Amino acid sequence: LVVVTNAAAGQRVAVRADAADEVRAALPRAEVVEAGPEPDGPGEPLDKALERAANRAFELGGALGVFGGDGSVTAAAATARRYGLPLAVLPGGTLNHFAYDLGIETVADACRAVESGEAVAVDLVRMGDHGWFLNTFSIGAYPELVRVRERWAPRIGAWPAGILAAVEVLRTARPTRIEINGRSRELWMLFAGNCTYRGLGLTPLRRHDLADGVLDVRTVSGGRLARTRLLLAALTGDLKHSPVLRSARLRHLRIDGIEPGTHLAYDGEVAAAPRSLTLSKENEALVVYRLPTTP
The 10s digit of each residue's pLDDT in 161-178 is 777 777 777 677 677 889
Residue 39 has pLDDT above 60, yes or no: no
- In this prediction, residue 12 carries a pLDDT of 41
Residue 31 has pLDDT above 90, yes or no: yes
Of 17-26, 76-85, 118-127, which range is least confident? 17-26
Which DSSP string do the residues of the chain spell out, in sequence order? -EEEEETT-SS-GGGGGGHHHHHHHH-TTSEEEEE-SSTTSSSB-HHHHHHHHHHHHHHHT--EEEEE-HHHHHHHHHHHHHHT--EEEEE-SSS-HHHHHTT--SHHHHHHHHHHT-EEEEEEEEETTS-EESSEEEEESHHHHHHHHHHHHHHH-HHHHHHHHHHHHHHH---EEEEETTEEEEEEEEEEEESPBS-SSSS---BS-S-SS-EEEEEEE-STTHHHHHHHHHHHT-GGG-TTEEEEEESEEEEE-PPTT-EEEETTEEEEPPS-EEEEEEEEEEEEE-PPPP-
Cα–Cα nearest to 269, from 53, 57, 78, 24: 78
The fold for domain 136-283 equals: Tumour Suppressor Smad4 (2.60.200)
Residue 3 has pLDDT above 60, yes or no: yes
Q: Give me the chain's average pLDDT, please.
A: 84
pTM, entire model: 0.83
Residues of the chain with CATH 2.60.200.40: 136-283
Cα–Cα nearest to 214, from 260, 242, 253: 253
- In this prediction, residue 281 carries a pLDDT of 97
Residue 14 has pLDDT above 80, yes or no: no
Residue 218 has pLDDT above 80, yes or no: yes
* CATH of region 2-117: 3.40.50.10330
Q: Exposure of 193 by Cβ count < 10 A (0-12 exposed, 13-18 middle, 19+ buried)?
A: buried
What pLDDT digit, counting tens, does each position of 56-113 carry? 999 999 999 999 999 999 999 999 999 999 999 999 987 799 999 999 999 999 999 9
Q: Between these two residues, 141 and 232, which has the higher pLDDT value?
A: 141
Residues of the chain with CATH 3.40.50.10330: 2-117
- In this prediction, residue 34 carries a pLDDT of 92
- In this prediction, residue 228 carries a pLDDT of 60
Average pLDDT over residues 204-226: 82
Of 140-144, 241-245, 252-256, 271-275, which range is least confident? 241-245
What pLDDT digit, counting tens, does each position of 251-282 carry? 999 999 998 888 888 997 878 889 999 999 99
Q: Between these two residues, 186 and 194, which has the higher pLDDT value?
A: 194
Average pLDDT over residues 30-34: 95
Adjacent-strand bridge partners of 217: 192, 248
Per-residue confidence band for 152, with pLDDT thresholds at 50, 70 and 90: confident
Strand 132-133 to 87-91 pairing: unpaired
Residue 232 has pLDDT above 70, yes or no: no
- In this prediction, residue 15 carries a pLDDT of 41
- Percent of residues, the chain, with pLDDT higher than 90: 51
Average pLDDT over residues 222-239: 57
Estimate to the nearest angstrom the gap between the alpha carbon of 260 and the chain centroid: 24
Residue 11 has pLDDT above 50, yes or no: no
